[in-house]
Structures are given as C-alpha cells and as structure tokens.
Structure 1
Amino acid sequence: MHIYTDDPKPLKRSWSFDILPPDISELRVVLLGNSWSERSSVGNFLLGETEFTEEEPDQCLTVRGQLKDKEMVLIDTPDLLHPDISQQQLTEHVEDCVRLSDPGPHVFLLVLQPEDFTEEHKLRLQSILEKFSDRSFDHSLVLISAPREESSALKKKHMEHPPVKDLITMCRYRHLKQENLELSELLTRLGQTVKENNGEYVSCDVFEDKTETLPADHQSPKQQQTQTSMSIC
C-alpha cells in the first residue's frame, strides 16, 4: 500500500541539519532494534509528529519529511530480531528495506532497549547489518533507550551490559542515550555520522547481487514513487 502526497511534510527545527554536506539533498536513515515501540517513538521524535503508530506492521514502513532544503527518509522495520523469523523472511525484509532506501542508506540508527537486549539479539543484529554491507557498522549510530528503572546503579549496569558494549564498539563507539536527549543533538549526531563517511551512503550488497537479474525496463522505488509521504512496502 502506498499513500501519496504532493509534498513531503515539513519537519521542526530544520536548522540542526545544516551540518549535512551541501551536496546531499536527502538523508536516508534505517531504524533497527529490539523494540518496535521504541523505534517508532524515536522516528516520531525525529519527525516532530506521530507518523509511526504503536501497531507493528508486517513489512517495512517509510516516512518522508522536508528539512529546510533537504529531505529526511526514515525506514522503520518489523521485528527482525524475533527468534522465530526465518532466514528467508529476514532476507526478504532486508531486500525490501534496501529498495526503499535506494540507492542506499546513509545511517543505521540502532535503537536498543538494554534491559531486553540479549547476546542472541546482538548476533542477529550483527548478521542483519552484514546482510546490507560489510561497511554497515561504519554508518551505524547506537541510541540507548531510556531505562524503565530510574536507579542510577541500574542505568550504569545497562550501559555495561556486554551485548550493548560489544555493539557500541563495533559501531566505532558512536552512541547516544535517549534520556533527556534533545532533537538538535540527535540530528547533529546523524549529520556527523554522514560527514565521517564523507557523505557516502551504504552500497548494499544484497541489492547489488540482484541488479544483474533485473529486466532492462525495471524502475527503482525512486522512479516509481515521487514525493511519497508514507509508504508500506
């Protein structure tokens, strides 16, 4: 299902995005993590309004918004870390995500709920990122969700949780805490991640493997959809 509008929706506090390289007209961000509610909350925080609902979809969900003279494209995913999801389903979801982020995502925003993030989750998330590209970790930013418990000792314990620490290390120590996080800081860190990669996006391996088999008249999602505000693949 696709929902079309004439123009992307304007987002709030667009001045924070001046950190993006001037030659980038669109920022593409893929949301991954172990909680749909946390990912959708972060997506809505970035957009400044409720576009991602509490009801988790079966497929990838994409929302576009206008940031001054640039666009932001957020691609949220279903629960790819669920233990019952098959490898075939996982590959199909990754391929859908790749097509929606064509020609490739600039940043993977990894939203982690530390209380529930297990070693199995870490290994599965690592495998998912590797399905996109072996360079995915260079383009990843970890966002630690606000803990359910207010104890400072518990907060420190969650940050020292081995699966979380391991993933932060893999992502070149790029991480933020959601608690008391300002929108401007999150946008700035996304922009910094893009700049640290010289404005390049991830050229997804799973997509490249498919291109040789595509028919000559095949159109990319960008060619098929113009000015899409929201789409469900």
Structure 2
Amino acid sequence: MDRQREEMDRQREEMRRLSGVPQHLRSSFELLPPDMSELRVVLLGNSWSERSSVGNFILGETVFDTEEEPDRCLRVRGQLKDKEIVLINTPDLLSPNISADNLRKHVENCVRLSDPGPHVFLLVLQPEDFTEQLKQKIRRVLEKFGGRSFDHSLILISTPREEKPGFMEEYKQHPPLNDLIRKSKYRFLWRKNLELEELLTRFGQIVKENNGEHLKL
C-alpha cells in the first residue's frame, strides 16, 4: 500500500512539474538541432474543428476550414522563425463508423505526407467527449504508425464547451485521459490561455528527447 501511494504521489508530482514549461526553455525552437530545417507535426483527435483551429493557431492564419471536414489528410507548410513547420491534419480516424480499410488508407496517406516520418503527434482532445473507447481507438491508431509513436506524442486538452470551476483538475483525473497522459510520458497542455511559444517549446522538447530523430515509419 505504501509503495502504491508513493507511486501515485510521484505521478502527481510529475504531472504538476510538466503541466508548465520550465523557465529556461522559453525560447521555442532553441531545442531543435541546428541542421534541422523542417518540423513535421501530425494532428490527431476527436474533433475536426478543434484540430483545425489548433493548426490555424500554430501557423497564425486560416489554412484549415474548421466547418467542413474533408475525407482525406491535408498537408500545409508554414514558416516559423528560421524553421519550416509541416502540419498534417487527419480526418476523423477515431470515428466508430470508420471501416478498417478506410482507416488503413488514411494512415498510409498520412505516412506518405509526413515522409520520412513525423517528429510530433499532437493529440487534440475534447475532455468531455473522451471515453475509454476513444482512448483505445487512439492507441490503436498510433500503433499503426509504429511502436514508438507515444514517444513522439503531446496531448493538447481543449477547453470544455461548458466551462466550470475546477474543470482542469476534474478532467485531468478522468481515467481514460489520465491513462493517455501517463502513456504519453505526462506530456500535456491545456488549450485555455495557451501561448504559441509554449506549444513550440514543447515540440522542441519532444525532438530533443528523441535525439533529434523523427519517428521511423
């Protein structure tokens, strides 16, 4: 029992530590290797509108239509400081109605668009809609990209449609979301009041943790 309590305390402390960006890492792309000219990011999640809104936020312009979801992956390229960033926005790969054949085709297309491989999977999740079934689905989708996909993953938790006091702590303890946060090595951010510099710094941290390498597909 004591060991279990110690482990829970350690996990809570890790979540608190990683819920904010350390002060010395504030310069967004300083962690990227100097010879790395392009950062490739795949957007996944349970809402096309939220994924597209985040993509537009990253690039500082409206490149994705948040209203109309296409039945294919979309790739856009933008310039951030001295680096290029490539975003691959996916259709709803978590839909319960998607066939195994369509899922395979979308993943194969995403792999082609992110060649030679993505550096980051940005999991944009709506907490009030995130169920155990969706957690299992996103795990299966990531596994189709490779066994080390979670080493390249960052969770971005959207602000609930009906915001209420204490919602951050409530949803952080929601079992399916909590499990996915642990699986992603406690890498997560809240969409509420998120600054671009903070998000880009997290991208840089993930690249550094993976020794500057993209996911081998």
Query: Do the structures match in fold with TM over 0.5?
Result: yes
Query: What aligned pairs does 1:201-212 form with structure 2 within 5 A after superposition?
Result: 201-204=214-217
Structure 2 matches for 1:75-114, cutoff 5 A?
75-114=88-127
1:34 and 1:111 in contact (8 A); partners too: yes
- Aligned-pair identity in percent equals 69
Q: Given residue 138 of structure 2, which amino acid in structure 1 is its aligned partner?
A: L
TM-score (norm 1): 0.79
Name whichever of 154-163 and 23-32 sits farther off: 154-163
**1:138-157 equivalences in 2 (<5 Å):** 138-157=151-170
Structure 1 runs, 4 residues or longer, greater than 6 Å off: none
Q: Distance in 2 between matches of 1:152 and 1:162?
A: 19
**Matched residues in 1 for 2:31 and 2:215: separation?**
19
Aligned AA (2:84): E
Instruction: Could you tell me which runs of 5 or more consecutive residues in structure 2 were left unpaired when the two chains were aligned.
Output: 1-26
Structure 2: which amino acid aligns with 1:111? V
Q: CA RMSD in A?
A: 1.1
Q: Deviation string for 1:139-162 (max 9, x for gaps)? A: 000000112222123332212111
Shift of 1:17: 2.2
Quick one: distance in 1 between partners of 2:167 and 2:207?
A: 32
Return the letter of the residue paired with 2:49.
Answer: S
Q: Distance in 2 between matches of 1:186 and 1:160?
A: 22
Which residue matches 1:31? Answer: 43
Cα separation, 2, equivalents of 1:86 and 1:115: 25
Amino acid at match of 2:60: G
CA distance in 2, matches of 1:149, 1:179: 13
CA–CA separation in structure 2 for the residues paired with 1:48 and 1:67: 10
1:50 to 57, 62, 65: 62
Q: Could you say which residue in structure 2 is the equivalent of 1:59?
A: 72
| Cα shift at 1:28 | 0.2
SS class of match (2:71)? coil
Residue equivalent to 2:182 = 169
8 Å CA contact 1:141–1:174 kept in 2: the answer is: yes
Aligned to 1:159: 172
- Equivalent residue in structure 2 for 1:21, among 33, 37, 62: 33
Task: State the distance in 1 between where 2:173 and 2:69 align.
Answer: 29
Whether the aligned pair in 2 keeps the contact of 1:147 and 1:155 (CA below 8 Å) is: no
Q: Which residue of structure 2 aligns with residue 215 of structure 1?
A: none
In 2, the alpha carbon distance for the partners of 1:88 and 1:150 equals 38
**How many residues align structurally?**
190
Q: Which runs of 5+ in 1 are unaligned?
A: 1-14, 205-233
